[in-house]
Amino acid sequence: MNSPSAARLSVSARTALAERMRLADPAGPEGTLPPHATFRSSLGRQSLNGSWRFHWSPDLAGAPLGVEAEDFDDRDEASGFVDLEVPSSWPMHGHGAPAYTNVQFPFPVDQPNPPDENPVGDHRLRFDVDTSLPGFADAGERPAALLRFDGVDNAGEVWLNGTRLGTTRGSRLPHEFDVTGVLRPTDNVLVVRVAQFSATSYVEDQDMWWLPGIFRDVTLVPTPDGAIRDVRVRADWDGGGRLSVRVDAGLPVAVELPELDVRTEPGTTVEVAGAEPWSPESPTLYRLVVSTDLERVELPIGFRTVSVADSRILLNGRPVLLRGVNRHEHHPDLGRVIPPELVRHELELMKQFNVNAIRTSHYPPSPLLLELADELGFYVMDECDLETHGFIYAAWRRNPSDDPAWTDALVTRMRTMVSRDRNHPCVFSWSTGNEAGVGANLPAMAEAARELDDTRLIHYEGDWDSGWQDVYSRMYASPDYCEQVGLGTEASTEDPALDAHRRALPFVQCEYAHAMGNGPGGLTEYLDLFRAHDRLNGGFIWEWLEHGIRMERDGVSCFGYGGDFGEPVHDGVFVIDGLVTADRVPRPGLHDLKKVYAPLLVEVADDWSGVRVQNRQDVAGLTAFAFRWSVDADGEQLAGGDLAVGDVEPGSSVEAALPAEAAAADRPGAVLTVQAVLAADSSWAPAGHEIAWGQSVRPVAPAAPTGGVAPVVPSEPTGGVVELGPGRFDPATGELVALGPHAVTGPTLTLWRAPTDNDNGRGWEEDGSEGPIEADQWRRQGLDRLRVRVLSAAADGDAFAVRQRIGTATADHFCELELRWTSDGETLGLSAELTVDEAMGRWDGTWPRIGVELTLPGELDQVRWSGRGPGQAYPDTGQSQRWGTFRSDVDGLQIDYVRPQENGSRRASEVALTGADGHGIAVAGPEFGFAARPWSAETLTAADHTPDLVPDGAVHLTLDHRQHGVGTAACGPGVLPGYQLRPSRLTEEDRRFSFVFRVV
């Protein structure tokens, strides 16, 4: 006889199997209403966000039975239910764990079947209908309403009061259920079972954390008889406004634009006199009022027309340059849940840093983002929730993009996105998805979008024939390839007709300049090309935001990445790529991007007589900006004031004379800066916010080692050290051991840097193949373990000369370094010459740097330098750094990249490190790089997370003569040739360097 427990297990197993079968169905959602635009009605809406009861199960077989029943007691402690806020991503609250993959699926590629190890979250909510809302005030015992979910990851099954409503499929898409006849005035029980994986996981393989849950709003929307169901707005602009509105409602409808005194009827087209066009630079919105005797709907609309002519994207007839970013939705503590105030902060920050375009990678965003993009002014590429990248590991076999079983579901996804978002003027393009291979379902999605809305461009990157797209899109194309496209000399594709079609399309980089860790390098080259060639319409940086998850390591807070949460399959630190941290703090790359994205070019005349301003905006003049000038030297302003600059059309330039007092303040080392700032408060920044700047610097003769005046005092009379001016040296090694009263160790040659994420990347060749990993090459050459043999250390006339032979363990390649020290009695000069030739063996590839390292007392932690700052600058970065005099402490010089790596190098002609008393050591020379750290390069190299970096009580100073660029090889082109440091190509200037040390 079977026991009751065995019978229950059998029921559980059978139920789990049935649910698995539903989860393996590639069909779209079940029981949902047709999609429509998002709008707010005077009838109101009831938020069901808040505290729900929740139960987590590791798989379907272990999920509780009967949770959909009204009388299920989720308050019984034995039920295992706990409180959970909705919206939420349940792994962020201790239920299961986050898992990160980029391309690979974390389960077998057995489409459409999800894995049996499939965590389940059961959500339950008891609620009453809010009868204070106008739409429910007269509802009586049978409230009419629809139940809306804006985001459920991955697959939901929904019950209300024991009645099964249907399913959700499409995590970042809205789902609505008609609950009229099921909804009660009071004591309603809403149940949502969410499975982490389903068939749709195969089409939602985006580069991000797997984070299941009800992560967007849940809303109850009243729908009494006659309620407005949908509003479709078309607001074109061609020298004037043209408006057409369609309304789905059960009562007669009136349409008006109160600000423009326009009244019309649905289904008619009316010319709108006096309408101003919408653009990101002037996002003029008007209030459209759609009303019946029952309700009133207000929509902000903007008049604009998107078109293509001569391979250019046009807005209102004017060429567009997309200065864009890719934006994922992520929060370090909440996962996919983004508080509304944070969304606004993000977009304000983008505007402040000169970003004008957003690609919603790789799914439709929360509705709020589009509302704010309309208001603040952005071009938005709205991307469908589709990515099947993991099928690349199966040679794209059974890819849903080309599987007829998926056609209806994928087309439904596209129709839902377009229906939801087509009233937003910010949306200039629909994207069918990302990295989904090729196949018949993609053009079918495009056709469905065009049927619903033919006013926007269709984008997809993965099909390079571009036969059904309106733009030719590539990701991570090199500057060389971009130039070929701009010139029309890129290689032809196989089909001549398709190739001719593609060559007529605008070119867009949907992803470029991968911003991971220290980087991206080479931004200037891209923007110069975009501005030089009409066919190059700009692109979207990858990406806006790092996806770190806040965690503790050794009791210290830091950000975690793939593998930190026990997931067996993961892609490590690749999730940490962004222009801002997970907390939305700008990285150095964002500051550089602001400079190269600036909509104005400000150039100061060499003689300080005037300034030239080029308007690089798309549509607006210069009236929104005010201009200021200042002359600074040694950290103090010598002169300054406002500057009158005339207006000029986009693409043109204007010159303005600087006042005579600017040139009068001229002196060696002085810096003239001209700023363009906002003339008045805007919706995203206050008056005075800087948009662009230009500088001119008065040169200072570079410090050079002086001829010897002070004699070299041998070691015998000085207690075992060699003295030369303020310096003391070890007679055996030739190392400097003290400078005045300060103990010093070094300088020693360094050719190594703690590899950046880009140094650890393979880079992309033009044919799509991967290149070598530079950091691996450096390790194979032993650059991280140089060994020095002293050939000589002795007086040579008035100099102390040291010759070293430098090699690496296990290798037979060498270089030689000659250090020649001289002193005038007050300063200590160093002239260095590096010898690298074939007789000493072959050094392959690149070197990360040519520099020297010194160790200084830890109390010398106050830093002052003259040069470029206040931030870091590498050969192919640092565009945002301006000339001046800057101060920091050593801690403030560090950039806390999530995975520690080379960072914080500044450019200087002089740097001083002092204690609190102002005494210390200064170094000067022809422009050089310096980095001062509270830990060694070895510690920085070994660290995996920021808490691994523990100060050792010293200051580690690196002085760089040359550095290799940083590039974007983590995903994209490596270091461009002009920024490479190759030992086989060193010039005499590369091999020789000098510094002057003094006590301050």
CA nearest neighbour of 963 among 874, 834, 893: 874
Helices (H), 657-813: 660-664, 774-781
Question: Any bridge partners for residue 559, and if so which?
Answer: 550
- Amino acid code (one letter) for 324: G
- Lookup: tokens for 884: 């001046």
How far is it, in rounded angstroms, from Cα 896 to Cα 963?
20
Neighbours of 939 (CB within 10 A): 18
3-state secondary structure string, 843-885? CCCCCCEEEEEEEEECCCCEEEEEEEECCCCCCCCCCCCEEEE
How far is it, in rounded angstroms, from Cα 602 to Cα 585?
27
How far is it, in rounded angstroms, from Cα 46 to Cα 191?
17
CA nearest neighbour of 47 among 87, 78, 10: 87
Residue written as tokens 């459209």?
288
* Beta strand 357-359 pairing with 322-326: parallel
Question: Any bridge partners for residue 178, and if so which?
Answer: 146
How far is it, in rounded angstroms, from Cα 52 to Cα 189?
11
Residue written as tokens 């690496």?
808
CA 511 to each of CA 1, 365, 416, 460, 474: distance values in angstroms, whole numbers, following the listed order: 64, 18, 25, 12, 7
- Amino acid code (one letter) for 296: R
Question: Any bridge partners for residue 536, and if so which?
Answer: 507
How far is it, in rounded angstroms, from Cα 232 to Cα 246?
5
How far is it, in rounded angstroms, from Cα 265 to Cα 290?
10
How far is it, in rounded angstroms, from Cα 785 to Cα 778?
10
3-state secondary structure string, 706-752? CCCCCCEECCHHHCCCEEECCEEECCCCCCEEEECCEEEEEEEEECC
- Amino acid code (one letter) for 76: D
157 part of the active site: no
Quote the Cα angle for 125-131-134, to 5°: 125
How far is it, in rounded angstroms, from Cα 381 to Cα 460?
11
Helices (H), 458-576: 479-487, 496-503, 523-532
- Lookup: tokens for 84: 């959970």
Tell me, rounded to whole angstroms, the distance of Cα 689 from its chain centroid.
22
Buried residues in 644-673 as b, exposed as e (16+ CB within 10 A): ebeeeebeeebeeebeeebeebbeebbbbb
3-state secondary structure string, 230-247? EEEEEEEECCCEEEEEEE
How far is it, in rounded angstroms, from Cα 445 to Cα 401?
10
603 part of the active site: no
662-668: long-range contacts at Cβ-Cβ below 8 A with a sequence spacing of 24 or more? 662/608, 662/629, 662/631, 663/607, 663/608, 663/609, 664/639, 665/631, 665/638, 665/639, 666/608, 666/631, 666/698, 667/633, 667/638, 667/698, 668/698, 668/699, 668/700, 668/701
Catalytic residue among 387, 435, 546, 723: 435
Please say whether the beta carbons of 779 and 990 come within 8 A: no
Q: What is the CA radius of gyration of the chain?
A: 32
Exposed/middle/buried for residue 950 (C-beta within 10 Å: 0-12, 13-18, 19+): exposed
Catalytic residue among 204, 511, 525, 723: 511
- Residues labelled catalytic: 435, 511
